[in-house]
Amino acid sequence: MLMRAVVYDEYGAPPVLRQVQEPTCPEDGAVIAVRATGVCRSDWHAWRGHDPVPLPHVPGHELAGVVAATGVRVTRWQVGDRVTVPFVCGCGRCEYCLAGDAQVCPDQTQPGFTGPGSFAERVAVRAADTNLVRLPDQVDFVTAASLGCRFATAFRALTVHGRLRAGSWVAVHGCGGVGLSAVMVAVALGARVVAVDVSPVALARARELGAEVVLDAREADVVDVLRTATGGGVHVSLDALGSPSTAASSVRSLRRRGRHVQVGLLLGRDATPPLPMDLVVAHELEVYGSHGMPAADYPAMLTLVADGTLRPDLLVGEVIGLAGAGAALASMDRPSRVAGMTVVEIPG
């Protein structure tokens, strides 16, 4: 059986819509009929060759849809179930997966990176009982796809690692997609937010989303200003960008016993930044890395999306068809950090 998918044959070659073989269903997995899929900078990095992927390649890892087929060993899912999937899929068998931490599974797979992704009418997901997430009826497919990696990652960084409480101060360093998601989540949970970025446009958007204090990261004494504005530093700080300077600023933003969460990826020569470990010791700081969100943690977030506490739909910029997905991916050559994410919708 054939289906339509967006494919590129070489890194940087135009991604084109064409007929390809439908995926086969793994014994422990499911085939999802994709109804919506987000366009993400991670897909652009893979297309540009910054992350190796098998070629030819179908991108896409932020998907929502309907179960179209299940393997013989799947017990929890049936054809017709409305679902989404974390961008990290666990094996379903190791000690981490069994503990609900598939996001660090040593044998993880990622649709759209390790195999064909969701810029397609159908995509296969393995270990369905571990990796699929049921969508509440109130959450439409475009909104579910927009949770993608950025919103879910921000939510988990703040709630699980940050253990955020109402009234706490939070700093968000870097207000692109994941940073603005973090601002929205933190405000919705009753926290007081400091947004830090170099872009006036990004800071204005953070202010619209409820940030109480916005600071230009280029100011020489930005961390001192932040610490003064928050009465001695924030309880939780995120590096949502991923650079040695934002990581260090994030740690230095913390009040005593505060929690830093590294969300932005650190790549290449920036991969191991020097951090002020003297402060980590003297102030008993906690330092976490956050790598997405496992299926087991989704229900808490989806409940808040379904009741309108969280509005990820407000961060969606444009909804396009599958035929436009390749061009949308290629257009990320020109950075547009705050225009809102693009979501591809595939009518059922």
- Please give the single-letter amino acid code of residue 128: A
Our finding on whether 90 is near Zn ion (CB under 5 A) is yes
**Least distance between Zn ion and beta carbon 37 (Å):** 10
329 backbone dihedrals φ, ψ, rounded to 5° = -65, -50
HSE (CB half, 13 Å, CA atoms) of 101?
10
Nearer to Zn ion, 105 or 322 (CB): 105
Our finding on whether 40 is near Zn ion (CB under 5 A) is yes
Q: How far apart are CA 47 and CA 44, in angstroms?
A: 5
Taking residues 46 to 85 in sequence order and writing x for each that binds Zn ion by CB under 5 A, - otherwise, the string is: ----------------------------------------
Nearer to Zn ion, 36 or 285 (CB): 36
Interface with Zn ion (CB under 5 A), residue total: 9
**Least distance between Zn ion and beta carbon 46 (Å):** 10
Q: How far apart are CA 213 and CA 207, in angstroms?
A: 8
- Helix (H, G, I), strand (E, B), or coil: what is residue 347? coil
Our finding on whether 329 is near Zn ion (CB under 5 A) is no
In the chain, how many H helices and how many E strands? 12, 15
Token pair for residue 317?
Answer: 């910029």
Nearer to Zn ion, 289 or 308 (CB): 289
Q: How far apart are CA 95 and CA 104, in angstroms?
A: 10
25 close to 124: Cβ distance less than 8 angstroms: yes
Q: Which stretch binds Zn ion (CB under 5 A): 95-103, 172-180, 267-275, 279-287?
A: 95-103
Which of 103, 202, 105, 114 is closest to 155 using CA atoms?
103
Nearer to Zn ion, 85 or 304 (CB): 85
- Taking CB under 5 A as the criterion, the residue among 97, 189, 211, 261 binding Zn ion is 97
* Contacts to Zn ion from residues 139-168, by CB under 5 A: 148-149
- Taking CB under 5 A as the criterion, the residue among 94, 225, 265, 287 binding Zn ion is 94
* Contacts to Zn ion from residues 209-268, by CB under 5 A: none
Q: Where are the alpha helices (DSSP H) in the chain?
A: 41-48, 95-98, 128-131, 141-146, 152-156, 177-188, 200-208, 222-229, 244-252, 277-282, 298-306, 325-330
**Least distance between Zn ion and beta carbon 43 (Å):** 7
Nearer to Zn ion, 94 or 204 (CB): 94
Nearer to Zn ion, 129 or 286 (CB): 129
* Contacts to Zn ion from residues 295-324, by CB under 5 A: none
**Least distance between Zn ion and beta carbon 40 (Å):** 3
**Least distance between Zn ion and beta carbon 156 (Å):** 14
Nearer to Zn ion, 233 or 312 (CB): 312
Q: How far apart are CA 110 and CA 333, in angstroms?
A: 23
Q: How many other C-beta atoms lie within 10 A of the C-beta of residue 187?
A: 18
Residues that bind Zn ion (CB under 5 A): 40, 42, 90-91, 94, 97, 105, 148-149
